[in-house]
Amino acid sequence: MPANRVASTMKKLLVLAACVEILTGLAFLIAPSRVGLLLFNEELNGIATSIARMTGIALIALGVACWPSPALVAMLTYGVLVALYLAYVGLVGGWTGVLLWPAVVLHVVLTGLLIWAFAKNKDANPETY
C-alpha cells in the first residue's frame, strides 16, 4: 500500500475514533446514569454521576485531540469544560470538597495562560498549535 494511502486511511480512522470518543463523552455528560446502565447494567447515582460527567469531558477533549487538531484546542476544550462543570457542581450540586474551588481556579488560570501563550506565540510556529 502506498504511503499516502496509508496516511489517508490513518487520518480517516483517527477521525472515526475521535467521533466515537466525542459522542461517548457527550453521552456521559448528558445522561450519565443511562450510560452506566447500558455499559455496566447499573445506574449511576450520587457522586458517580459527577465522576461520569468529568469522564465525559475528558473523552470529549480526547476526541478533539485526535481529530486531527492541535493539542492546544483539546486542552482548551478540557480546561473550559472542566472549570464550568466543577463550578456548576459547586454551586448547584452540593458536593464541595476542600479542593473543589481551588480546582476550578486552577483550571481557569491554566486555560487563561494557554490562551495568553497562544495569542502571544501564534505567529511563531502556527502548526504547533
Per-residue pLDDT tens over the stretch 22-41: 999 999 999 999 999 988 88
pLDDT tens column, 60-112: 998 888 876 677 788 888 889 999 998 998 898 777 788 889 999 999 999 89
Specify the long-range contacts of residues 111-119, CB closer than 8 Å, at least 24 apart. Answer: 111/75, 111/76, 111/79, 111/80, 111/83, 114/72, 114/75, 114/76, 114/79, 115/76, 118/72
Per-residue cell: 32: 450519565
CA atoms of 122 and 94, how far apart (whole Å): 40
Assign 8 a pLDDT band (cuts: 50, 70, 90): confident
**Averaged pLDDT, 111-117:** 86
CA atoms of 78 and 90, how far apart (whole Å): 18
The helix, strand and coil proportions of the chain, stated in percent and rounded to the nearest 5, come to: 80, 0, 20
Residue 70's SS3 state is coil
CA atoms of 103 and 85, how far apart (whole Å): 11
* pTM of the predicted model as reported, rounded to 2 decimal places: 0.73
